[in-house]
Chain A
């Protein structure tokens, strides 16, 4: 008997009598003002949020390019929409990317996270290998809690999806918070 059968058989023998699956109750939304809560929460975990000011982002990107920094853009409304050109790039070829701009699908007020998927990031390594990550999100897509988020998304619609909440961070050295571990050193979110 292979391990698969051995394990399944052992479970059958040892598992308790059936326990019913509970309904997930409708939990409190925790906020009446998802936009503000989202901004507050994301700010408190190290993100930088700009509301309703797309021009600021445009100017920022112009400046980045002037400074000779590599920008990869996944937002059609902005100049140089080029993210899909990088779809098959290897990590080793993306090492020098400074800024990546992508679209978020859903933002969650209670924890400041944003859902992004294959179709908006093109190459899975991009949001992690860049120094600076910028996410653009539509205000209408801010939900209150994770429960609401999972109602809206279908997690297996695409091969990969991730909730991103702030810049990468660690506190593994004496519990001192350091922003910028292996992923981006900063996260900016533009709400439009």
Chain B
């Protein structure tokens, strides 16, 4: 994937529609507030996070063993297990299963992994119809867009947009923007898809090594309807979704929905262990860069992510720039530390799309040190030369001046040149500070000068 537009440009474009941007910010802030309320109801919330974090740390340090254990148990359960090194292989595996079984129509519930692998694209290209059944994903699919949020895929859209899209594709009443009316319309169409499809693809929230089964969480019931109504169920998961034991589900399910939407739990937490009679159940275990990230000491922690999106909702930058500005299947702060692992060059801008305020780290239910990883990626990306020559030389000058007090005093005297470094950072002659902000008024003298004048024995 080659990026043409930087996050900052997309963000600026997003903010042009002030009302919509304010709505986006306010709405996601509200989700964050609901998360706070839910978390505060659990007195030992912080201990719960700590436990989850430690379980994940342990699992990552023993990941191969747990995958082997999971595979063995799953096979005993009658599940067919596949392994895929990358997105392409994953797509090919899914495609092969589908063609072998003469599948023409597929329903798919939410799976960030299949987004990451661009499965829909792949299958579409091969002439297979995949319908996304999560309402938000269905909406963006009809619009030929990408989800902009991993939990709330259509959060960038207003009900007017949805009404228009549904009117076009589902022939709903023009300008009827009632969410219940629109949801019911989609329900009707998708019901038909569920019962006439030949196969269902789902994601996986947790896979349990000890029992060889997996858990899927939804509110809409779409993963279950798809999986139960069809003869073939293919569940796709990143290898980091493994947890050791059933009892650990207690920890993670208590955290997941509270962190995501402030619900005490999702409506459905479905535990799959054996296919129903006459059904094929497949599971595809996917690497796609995860083992590489595991080897990056500073970033392996990112593999603990349970995709709750709490870090999106709290991120003041995400809320004001929208998911599409991150040009990656996973947006937000966690996306910004996962994406450079997949393609440093294309995603070199993302770790800079943050003020490093640290709120993401505080809400993260598995205690990923997100803001520290953003900082570390910055160092690596600049070292690898993805910052451009102008920025590097500006920084070099700055470093030289700041390490030499003589030079520093001199540059200060020349009209408080401090802010003069800014334009070089973005390769722009105009000082971006001043576009919408005034410069501070330069005082008569610096503190250094004042001190020399007023305190003799410095």
Selected interface stretch from A53-61, A68-76, A134-142, A160-168: A160-168
Q: A3-B83, A41-B264 are in contact. Are A155 and B190 (CB under 8 A)?
A: no
Q: How far is the CB of A155 from chain B (nearest CB, A)?
A: 5
- The residue that B291 contacts in the complex, of A7, A21, A173, with Cβ under 8 A, is A7
Task: Give the nearest-CB partner of B222 in chain A.
Answer: A182
A-B contact count (CB 8 A): 267
Bits for A172-187, please: 1 = Cβ < 8 Å to B, else 0.
Answer: 1111101011111000
Is B272 in the interface zone, CB < 8 Å from A?
yes
- The residue that A167 contacts in the complex, of B41, B48, B267, B274, with Cβ under 8 A, is B267
- The residue that A146 contacts in the complex, of B58, B157, B213, B250, with Cβ under 8 A, is B250
Q: List 24 A-B contacts (CB under 8 A).
A: A8-B68, A18-B62, A19-B58, A22-B51, A22-B58, A24-B51, A27-B47, A92-B195, A155-B208, A155-B249, A155-B271, A156-B77, A159-B272, A160-B270, A163-B253, A166-B267, A168-B268, A172-B135, A172-B139, A173-B154, A174-B27, A178-B179, A181-B183, A181-B220
Q: How far is the CB of B174 from chain A (nearest CB, A)?
A: 17
Task: Give the nearest-CB partner of A16 in chain B.
Answer: B61
Is B446 in the interface zone, CB < 8 Å from A?
no
Residues of B within 8 A of A161 (CB): 270-271, 273
With most chain B CB atoms within 10 A of its CB, the pick from A95, A129, A172, A180 is A172
Give how many B residues have a beta carbon under 8 Å from the other chain's beta carbons. 98
Residues of B within 8 A of A182 (CB): 133, 187, 190-191, 194, 220-222, 225
Selected interface stretch from B294-302, B328-336, B435-443: B294-302
Given contacts A172-B139, A181-B219, 7 further A-B contacts (CB under 8 A): A10-B287, A28-B42, A30-B43, A41-B264, A151-B247, A160-B273, A169-B219
Whether B212 pairs with A146 at a CB distance below 8 angstroms is no
Residues of A within 8 A of B158 (CB): 174
Q: How far is the CB of B267 from chain A (nearest CB, A)?
A: 5
Bits for B272-289, please: 1 = Cβ < 8 Å to A, else 0.
Answer: 111111000000010100
Lowest 5 CB-CB distances: which A-B pairs, in order? A183-B221, A14-B295, A159-B274, A111-B264, A181-B220
Is B159 in the interface zone, CB < 8 Å from A?
yes
With most chain A CB atoms within 10 A of its CB, the pick from B184, B247, B271 is B271
- The residue that B225 contacts in the complex, of A4, A27, A128, with Cβ under 8 A, is A128
Whether A19 pairs with B220 at a CB distance below 8 angstroms is no
Give how many A residues have a beta carbon under 8 Å from the other chain's beta carbons. 77
Task: Give the nearest-CB partner of B249 in chain A.
Answer: A150
Whether B58 pairs with A162 at a CB distance below 8 angstroms is no
Is B30 in the interface zone, CB < 8 Å from A?
yes
Q: How far is the CB of A131 from chain B (nearest CB, A)?
A: 11
Q: A27-B44, A30-B43, A172-B134 are in contact. Are A125 and B228 (CB under 8 A)?
A: yes
Whether B58 pairs with A128 at a CB distance below 8 angstroms is no
Task: Give the nearest-CB partner of A157 in chain B.
Answer: B273
Whether A150 pairs with B247 at a CB distance below 8 angstroms is yes
Bits for B82-102, please: 1 = Cβ < 8 Å to A, else 0.
Answer: 011100010000000000000
Whether B274 pairs with A25 at a CB distance below 8 angstroms is no
Q: How far is the CB of A5 from chain B (nearest CB, A)?
A: 9
Residues of B within 8 A of A176 (CB): 159, 179
Bits for B64-79, please: 1 = Cβ < 8 Å to A, else 0.
Answer: 1001100000000100
Q: A24-B247, A129-B229, A173-B154 are in contact. Are A15 and B60 (CB under 8 A)?
A: yes
> Of residues 152 to 205 in B, which have CB atoms within 8 Å of A's CB atoms?
152-155, 157-159, 162, 179-180, 182-184, 187, 190-191, 194-196
Q: A14-B291, A155-B271, A176-B179 are in contact. Are A8 and B77 (CB under 8 A)?
A: no
Is B292 in the interface zone, CB < 8 Å from A?
yes
Q: A110-B264, A181-B222 are in contact. Are A24 and B250 (CB under 8 A)?
A: yes
Whether A162 pairs with B264 at a CB distance below 8 angstroms is no
Whether B55 pairs with A21 at a CB distance below 8 angstroms is yes
Is B57 in the interface zone, CB < 8 Å from A?
yes
Whether A175 pairs with B27 at a CB distance below 8 angstroms is yes
Whether B47 pairs with A25 at a CB distance below 8 angstroms is yes
Task: Give the nearest-CB partner of A108 in chain B.
Answer: B265
Q: A128-B225, A170-B219, A172-B152 are in contact. Are A13 and B194 (CB under 8 A)?
A: no
